[in-house]
Structure 1
């Protein structure tokens, strides 16, 4: 059954908006060429989208032609403002952007571990409000939040998680109350990091991969056939609870001690570095562990050990310096958890994310890949994150932008405002 005229117009409008989002400003002639629509149809949709306040003239084509240059049309970027939050145990990072995802301002709000739930939520919400004000946003259309812990797939709410501050669970509801009309969504931080790596980072050419997050804690995100998999209870990737050899006990439902977290969490990495005689960082957290790994990598690069190995070749024990031994020991630990994921999912690619994954770079990725090659018959490429600790914030922004654009670009009968 052919589409009705109104449905056809809505489809054409949305197609044009997506092209303007992806390609940037275009002339009517370029829209005609890219959409395959007739000239009168393109002229009609340009008039509709301009009248709706979704596109506007942003300049003129620089092409040499007779007569006046063609007008360039672009999306009205300030039609909606978005906020993205990276919620951590010690505070929150915030950025505000326009509808195209261009960052207008960034802020942070450190929150001490002894801060009560009410004051902590107030500090976090104030950081969002102040960032919006600084960006010149009268209101926020959509807010995307990345947080540690499990997200209930039925309600979208952050579930109780052992060891996480209570204020995390109150933040989203408070933002809804304090930001009238704003759409607020919460997603697991590792899932958001994977989305960012898929769209902008190390996995841009992969439809199937696993992100292994190495930071203050550990986690994993699974993308299969281009789709993020969350699991029946939202717990896909809770790899910190994975029972592994090399620990003194087994994890429990409320405590991941004894699981993979005990081998590759920040405290474990810093302890391992101490065992190899490397200096301790100022803080026992994700940035601290990344500092140790980054220093070891710099020493190894200077010594020419691991990096002399050709791609696909075996890593040899040329050097016995402490940084080299530390990185090899760390790679062995990371490979234990990665091998379990590979054996079940066969993703073909593992991205080492988080602050530690980025700090380890190609050196650590190569060591883990070589170790996996000896542990598993399944060929698996290991890559270092190109976004690192910023991936959660980028993923939250991408999610907020997608939701806002889906709503604003929807046919009028489906739009919620």
Structure 2
């Protein structure tokens, strides 16, 4: 059944906007070539998109040409603004961008987790509001928040998980009341996977798993090009995975007996001290990241530490490989980023000995920016879904 004229217009507009987003400014002639639409149809859609404020003339195609056919059209990047917020146990990171994803301002600040949860949440809200103001973002459309813990895929609620700072839930509740923008909440590891899939280490891969190594341990799963959250939002809660080398089994109330007890930041720091390593952590990072960075220069002790750490990380990677057969595991989080290609290569060799399924292991290409990049991509998707119209 052929589409109605109004539906066809929506589809054509979306198609043109997607070309402008991917390729940058284009002439009407270039839009005709890319879309296959007729001259009158392209002329109509360009007029329509200019009227909505989504597209504007940004130049001309050549100094020797004049008139409508020489005009170059581009997406009006200030038509909507986006924000990403990455909340950790004792800190928050904010970024504001335009509709094309160009960063306008970013900031980070510690959050006093020992203070009243309302005060701690207010510190994070104030950081975001200040960053929005600094960016001059007068049309804030969508804000995506990356948080540790389980996010209900049906409601977007951050669940009251054991160990989750109380101020996180207060912040997620407060943001919609303080902002006129849409607020989207997603697990931080899932956002890191979105970013690595679109612009990072897993670009061009339809299937991969991301293993988050930081203060806590988690995983994200992308199969068939889609992020898989699970029924309750708990897909990838690998910190609870029972593994050899821990003193007890994990429980529903705590993951210390699981993989977290081997490769969480505290466990990795203890391992580094046992090997005689010393290091000075940078602000806003788990101490274990500093130990991992210092290890290559610590001689035999550093080598032995990294080898044992790789053995531990390979247990989690092997579980992901054996169950999912993803073909690629990306090591992310502060510890995965600190380990870089050297740790990834060690884990890949040990994984090959543990599991018969060929699995590449790669370090994050985005490092500490992965969650914020994923947040901006998620916010941009939400804004474009509303402003560009539904896909065909």
Q: Is TM-score (shorter-chain normalized) higher than 0.5?
A: yes
1:335 and 2:279 aligned = no
- Name the CA distance, whole Å, in 1 between partners of 2:283 and 2:305: 17
Q: Helix, strand or coil: the match of 2:321?
A: helix
Moved over 3 A (4+): 64-69, 280-287
Contiguous gaps of at least 5 residues in structure 2:
none
Give CA-to-partner distance per residue, 1:327-386, whole Å, 9 cap, x none.
110000000111111111111110111121122111111111110111111111111111
Pair 364,142 (structure 1): closer, same or farther in 2 beyond 3 Å: same
Structure 2 residue corresponding to 1:367, chosen from 337, 346, 352: 346
How far is the alpha carbon of 1:109 from its aligned partner?
2.7
- Name the CA distance, whole Å, in 2 between partners of 1:404 and 1:283: 35
Q: Once structures 1 and 2 are overlaid, which stretch shifts more, 390-399 or 273-282?
A: 273-282
* Contact persistence 1:84–1:94 (CA under 8 A): yes
TM-score normalised per structure 2: 0.96
Q: Helix, strand or coil: the match of 2:381?
A: helix
How far is the alpha carbon of 1:286 from its aligned partner?
4.3
How far is the alpha carbon of 1:201 from its aligned partner?
0.4
2:30 maps to 30
Give CA-to-partner distance per residue, 1:39-61, whole Å, 9 cap, x none.
11111110110111110011122
1:207 maps to 206
Q: Once structures 1 and 2 are overlaid, which stretch shifts more, 126-135 or 187-196?
A: 126-135
How far is the alpha carbon of 1:236 from its aligned partner?
0.5
2:99 maps to 99
Aligned residues: 390
* Contact persistence 1:250–1:259 (CA under 8 A): yes
* Contact persistence 2:213–2:264 (CA under 8 A): yes
1:132 maps to 132
1:76 maps to 76
2:262 maps to 263
How far is the alpha carbon of 1:154 from its aligned partner?
2.1
- Name the CA distance, whole Å, in 1 between partners of 2:202 and 2:286: 23
Pair 387,346 (structure 1): closer, same or farther in 2 beyond 3 Å: same
Give CA-to-partner distance per residue, 1:71-127, whole Å, 9 cap, x none.
111111111111100011102111111111111011123112211111111111111
TM-score normalised per structure 1: 0.90
* Contact persistence 2:79–2:139 (CA under 8 A): no
- Name the CA distance, whole Å, in 2 between partners of 1:282 and 1:53: 47
1:385 maps to 364
* Contact persistence 1:221–1:228 (CA under 8 A): yes
* Contact persistence 2:239–2:255 (CA under 8 A): yes
Give CA-to-partner distance per residue, 1:270-311, whole Å, 9 cap, x none.
1111111111434898442222111223x28xxxxxxxxxxx
How far is the alpha carbon of 1:398 from its aligned partner?
0.4
Give CA-to-partner distance per residue, 1:142-163, whole Å, 9 cap, x none.
1100000001122110001111
Pair 23,275 (structure 1): closer, same or farther in 2 beyond 3 Å: same
RMSD: 1.8
1:146 maps to 146
- Name the CA distance, whole Å, in 1 between partners of 2:143 and 2:171: 12
* Contact persistence 1:286–1:356 (CA under 8 A): no
* Contact persistence 2:327–2:358 (CA under 8 A): yes
Contiguous gaps of at least 5 residues in structure 1:
301-319
